[in-house]
A and B are shown apart, each in its own frame.
Chain A
């Protein structure tokens, strides 16, 4: 039974594609007739049941149908083009006006140079223990904002998951997509695999380095997580889904990102109640410049890195295959 249905659907799909690509006119006239029958049905009210039947009435000559279709296409294309150009120029105008109104770059009298940035730059290292002032800002002074950013990423991943993940009932589509991926993926590409063997460990190590040294050197959870995710995607492309699915599947994604976000929220969501003021921390800030210093910042970096890495990887696999 399933096979029969599958065959039927396949034929219909082929026919649709023929209409789309080569302009298969039989289906075209059928479609136009259906549209015409429906749109002209309300005016002759008594004979409505017959005219609703597609293909039975209103057999226009083929050339007229094509001419009408071409005219409608031309009109909508012209409209879209005009509107697109107008909107584009409007946006360019707004952006250029904004850029012209900005104060000159690097001017010491700019409004951004106020007591907040002076405090961050002059006392940031002493107060947060982070040598990298940017990390001290985004994960200590403004850790609250970064919590929101991580939640945005997590929400985006959830939305992609809801939209693109195939359910169990979509077995036919899943099978089709698997077939597709297996046929067209460069599974045994020697150049890609040799390069990936060198580059994947380097990318992952560099990502770990960026995350763990986020409070000491440029970088941090977001950039390091993105580098790790890119390394995982490279490995996936070179060696296939079976290899990566061993250590990175839906359960791991779920556990890692939820645990990381929960840790972050537990550590920093008190700002909801204190208004981004600091609570006295019982964790010693340590000596600035040491790996284990800067209080909570390295751990928050690890949490953000995990969320970002998992999200990037999940985005790719969901876009590519519809599953993890």
Chain B
């Protein structure tokens, strides 16, 4: 159990560093999501299931969805990448 906890902590640290050093915004959001999921597992191991459920639902779920929505809104992801107002030109 201790080994699993240490592995998860190392992975959380790796994810945090990856978020800081990734250029692609979509990759950042997905890595952030993975980090939240691992944090939720750590909460389960630390015997606080209340926090784990909230972390999984808010951190990994709704938070990342909001990040995706913002990325789409600013035109950083999606088929309209860099060409958001393309259909208006025809």
Contact = CB atoms under 8 A, between A and B. Distances in A.
Most A CB atoms within 10 A — which of B49, B80, B82? B49
A34 B71 CA distance: 33
Nearest to B60: A230
Interface stretch (A61-69, A72-80, A216-224, A280-288): A216-224
Interface stretch (B7-15, B21-29, B51-59): B51-59
A316 interface: yes
Given A14-B89, A320-B69, A320-B72, A315 B62 contact: yes
Contacts of A223: 50, 53-54, 57-58
A319 B78 contact: no
B29 to A, nearest CB: 13
B53 A21 contact: no
A312 interface: yes
B81 to A, nearest CB: 10
A180 B80 contact: yes
Which residue, B49, B62, B69, B82, has most C-beta atoms of chain A within 10 A? Answer: B62
Interface string A3-46: 00000001001100100010000000000000000000000000
A222 B73 contact: no
Report the interface size class on chain B: 20 to 34
Q: What bracket does the count of chain A residues touching chain B fall in?
A: 20 to 34
A230 B50 contact: no
Chain B interface helix/strand/loop/mixed: helix
B70 A226 contact: no
Given A315-B62, A316-B62, A222 B54 contact: yes
Given A184-B79, A320-B73, A315 B50 contact: no
Interface in A262-315: 312, 315
Nearest to A218: B49
Contacts of A324: none
A230 B65 CA distance: 9
B73 A319 contact: yes
Contacts of A233: 62, 65
Nearest to B79: A184
Contacts of A17: 85
Contacts of A229: 62
Interface in B32-81: 49-50, 52-54, 57-58, 61-62, 65-66, 69-70, 72-73, 78-80
In the A-B complex, the 9 residue pairs with the closest CB atoms: A218-B49, A226-B57, A319-B69, A223-B53, A230-B61, A223-B54, A320-B69, A218-B50, A227-B57
Interface of B: 49-50, 52-54, 57-58, 61-62, 65-66, 69-70, 72-73, 78-80, 82, 84-85, 87-89
Given A230-B62, A315-B66, 8 more contacts: A10-B85, A10-B88, A13-B85, A218-B50, A222-B54, A223-B53, A227-B57, A316-B65
Interface of A: 10, 13-14, 17, 21, 132, 134, 176, 179-180, 183-184, 210, 218-220, 222-223, 226-227, 229-230, 233, 312, 315-316, 319-320
